[in-house]
């Protein structure tokens, strides 16, 4: 068989690009969440040490924590959905014959 007769079922380039972008976004958000934990504990220790200095306290600490974890969760869901879309974007397998299925070359004369 020649190389042109074999249909390799590759996903479309756009779906691969979307999946790679979603994967990189997920890795970046999980890195931010991972780095956020030591920063959060450091800020809490400073706030405990300087009870009277309100300039060291971060307003909305719980909101920042929630936003970081929500971004990581949403990017993980986006990556999973992009992976599913990438797998589904592959074209169907085509037989190696030159005639499409259902066509044998004969003309049907019945009306």
Domain boundaries, the chain: 13-88
User: pLDDT value at position 96?
Assistant: 62
User: pLDDT value at position 10?
Assistant: 80
**9-14, long-range: CB < 8 A, 24+ apart:** 9/90, 9/91, 9/92, 9/93, 10/90, 11/86, 11/87, 11/89, 11/90, 12/89, 14/89
CB of 26 within 8 A of CB of 76?
yes
Nearest to 9 by CA among 81, 95, 68: 95
**0.85 surpassed by pTM:** no
Q: Using CA atoms, how far apart are residues 66 and 35, in angstroms rounded to an integer?
A: 14
- Going residue by residue through the chain, which has 111 residues, state the pLDDT in tens, using 9 for 90 and above: 444 545 567 888 888 899 999 999 999 999 988 887 787 777 777 766 666 555 555 566 677 778 888 888 999 999 999 999 888 887 777 666 665 555 555 565 666
């Amino acid at each position: 068989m020649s190389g042109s007769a074999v249909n390799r079922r590759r996903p479309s380039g756009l779906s691969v690009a979307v999946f790679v972008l979603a994967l990189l976004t997920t890795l970046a958000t999980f890195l931010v969440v991972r780095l956020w934990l030591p920063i959060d504990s450091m800020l809490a220790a400073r706030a405990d040490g300087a009870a009277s200095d309100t300039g060291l306290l971060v307003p909305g600490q719980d909101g920042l924590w929630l936003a970081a974890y929500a971004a990581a969760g949403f990017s993980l869901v986006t990556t999973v959905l992009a992976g599913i879309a990438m797998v589904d974007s592959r074209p169907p397998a085509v037989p190696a014959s030159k005639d499409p299925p259902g066509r044998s070359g004969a003309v049907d004369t019945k009306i």
